C-alpha cells in the first residue's frame, strides 16, 4: 500500500510494519508509549501492540541501553529511543563496552540485534543538548553500524534493514527534516542496504558528498549550479559506518573534484575521514584540493544563532565555485 508521508511518518510506518511481522520486536524509551514520543514517531503503536511491546521508561538512558542489550542477548529485538542524541552520552558505556562487543566477546555465540533511534542535528532552535551532531563519535566504534536517512523513503527502507540486522545499529534521524518533505512510499517491507551510498544526481564536473539533513541544501546547491553549467554528482552517504568508499572514489575518479558537506563540527568529523581516504586512494585523480563545508568547532549556539552555525546552499555554491576555479 502506498502512503504519502514525511520522514517522521516513514519511521512510524517502518516500526509498525516490522512489529506486525515479528513478535520478538520490543520498543522502549522515554514517553514513546502514551505520548507517542516527543516528536510522535511512535504514535499509535501502543494502542496496536500493547504495553508489553511499547514500553515507557524512566528518564534514564543508561538503564534504557542496558535493558535493551540484555533483551537483545536473550532473543528479543529491542528498538530503543534516546529522546535526543545529546542525551545518549550516559548510555555510551553500555553501547560501546557491551552492545558493540558482544559478538566478538562471545566469539559469535551471542549477537546483539539492537536498534537505538535518536533524533539528531540542529535546525529546531532548541538548547544545545537537543541539537547535537556527533555521529563521528559513534562511527569510530568497531561493532556499531551508524545509519542516517535523508528522506522518507530512505528512512523507511534503512530502518527496516536496521531492525533486521543481527548486530547493533545506531539510527540517527535528522529532526530538521522530520516534516519538511512528503514522499510517496510503498509499505512493502522491502529494506534498503546498509553500508551503501546512494547517488542522487549524476554529474561529470564535481562530486558533492553529504548525509542527513544537509542533503536538502546540497541538492538545492546542485540545481543552482546547473544554471551555470556546472554538473554536480550528489552522493548521499546514508551509512557513516560502514562507509561505502567505493562509490565515493568511483565518482571522484570520474569528476576529479570533491566537496564534502556536513553540519557536525569540522575537526575529527566523518568528512575528514572521507577526505583522508580520497587523498590516500585517488590523489592523482584530483584536479583541485578537496573542500569541506561544515559546522564550526563550537557547541551548537542557542536558538536563532543556529542559522549562522549550519551550512547553507550558498556556502556549498561558494565552495564548489572556488574548487572549480582552482588551476
pLDDT over 90 at 126, yes or no: no
In the predicted model, what is the mean pLDDT of residues 13-35? 97
Distance of CA 37 to the CA centre of its chain: 19
CA distances from 21 to 1, 45, 160 (A): 16, 14, 11
Q: What is the pLDDT of residues 207-224, one digit of tens each?
A: 999 999 999 999 999 999
pLDDT over 80 at 180, yes or no: yes
Q: What pLDDT is recorded for position 213?
A: 97
Q: Which of 3, 130, 140, 262 is catalytic?
A: 130
The yes-or-no answer on residue 125 being catalytic is no
Q: What is the pLDDT of residues 151-175, one digit of tens each?
A: 999 999 999 999 999 999 999 999 9
Mean pLDDT of the chain: 96
Q: How far apart are CA 99 and CA 271, in angstroms?
A: 26
Looking at the DSSP bridge assignments, the partners of residue 56 are 29
pLDDT over 80 at 327, yes or no: no
* 198 within 8 A of 235, measured Cβ to Cβ: yes
Q: How far apart are CA 147 and CA 238, in angstroms?
A: 6
For residue 123, what pLDDT band results from cuts at 50, 70 and 90? Answer: confident
Q: What pLDDT is recorded for position 127?
A: 78
- The domains of the chain, with CATH numbers, are 2-186 (3.40.50.970), 198-325 (3.40.50.920)
pLDDT over 90 at 284, yes or no: yes
**C-beta atoms surrounding 285 within 10 Å:** 15
Q: What pLDDT is recorded for position 128?
A: 78
Q: How far apart are CA 270 and CA 272, in angstroms?
A: 5
Amino acid at each position: 500500500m502506498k502512503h504519502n508521508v514525511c520522514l517522521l511518518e516513514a519511521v512510524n510506518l517502518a516500526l509498525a510494519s516490522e512489529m506486525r511481522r515479528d513478535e520478538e520486536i520490543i520498543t522502549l524509551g522515554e514517553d514513546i508509549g502514551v505520548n507517542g514520543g516527543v516528536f510522535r514517531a511512535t504514535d499509535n503503536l501502543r494502542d496496536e501492540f500493547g504495553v508489553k511491546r511499547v514500553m515507557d521508561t524512566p528518564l534514564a538512558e543508561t538503564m534504557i541501553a542496558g535493558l535493551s542489550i540484555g533483551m537483545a542477548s536473550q532473543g528479543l529485538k529491542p528498538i530503543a529511543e534516546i529522546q535526543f542524541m545529546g542525551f545518549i552520552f550516559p548510555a555510551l558505556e553500555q553501547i560501546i563496552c557491551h552492545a558493540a562487543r558482544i559478538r566478538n566477546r562471545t566469539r559469535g555465540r551471542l549477537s546483539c540485534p539492537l536498534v537505538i533511534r535518536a533524533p539528531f542535528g540542529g535546525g529546531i532552535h532548541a538548547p544545545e543538548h537537543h541539537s547535537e551532531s556527533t555521529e563521528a563519535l559513534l562511527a569510530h566504534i568497531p561493532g556499531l553500524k551508524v545509519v542516517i536517512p535523508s528522506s522518507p523513503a530512505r528512512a523507511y527502507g534503512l530502518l527496516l534493514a536496521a531492525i533486521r540486522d543481527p548486530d547493533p545499529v545506531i539510527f540517527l534521524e535528522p529532526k530538521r527534516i522530520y516534516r519538511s518533505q512528503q514522499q510517496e512510499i510503498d509499505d512493502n517491507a522491502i529494506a534498503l542496504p546498509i553500508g551503501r551510498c546512494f547517488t542522487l544526481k549524476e554529474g561529470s564536473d564535481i562530486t558533492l558528498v553529504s548525509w542527513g539533513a544537509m542533503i536538502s541544501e546540497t541538492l538545492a546547491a546542485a540545481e543552482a549550479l546547473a544554471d551555470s553549467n556546472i554538473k554536480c554528482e550528489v552522493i548521499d552517504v546514508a551509512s557513516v559506518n560502514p562507509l561505502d568508499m567505493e562509490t565515493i572514489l568511483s565518482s571522484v575518479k570520474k569528476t576529479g573534484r570533491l566537496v564534502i558537506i556536513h553540519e557536525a563540527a569540522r575537526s575529527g568529523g566523518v568528512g575528514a575521514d572521507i577526505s583522508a581516504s580520497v587523498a590516500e586512494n585517488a590523489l592523482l585523480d584530483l584536479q583541485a584540493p578537496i573542500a569541506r563545508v561544515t559546522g564550526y568547532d563550537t557547541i551548537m549556539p542557542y536558538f536563532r544563532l543556529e542559522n549562522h552555525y549550519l551550512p547553507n546552499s550558498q556556502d556549498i555554491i561558494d565552495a564548489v565555485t572556488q574548487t572549480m576555479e582552482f588551476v
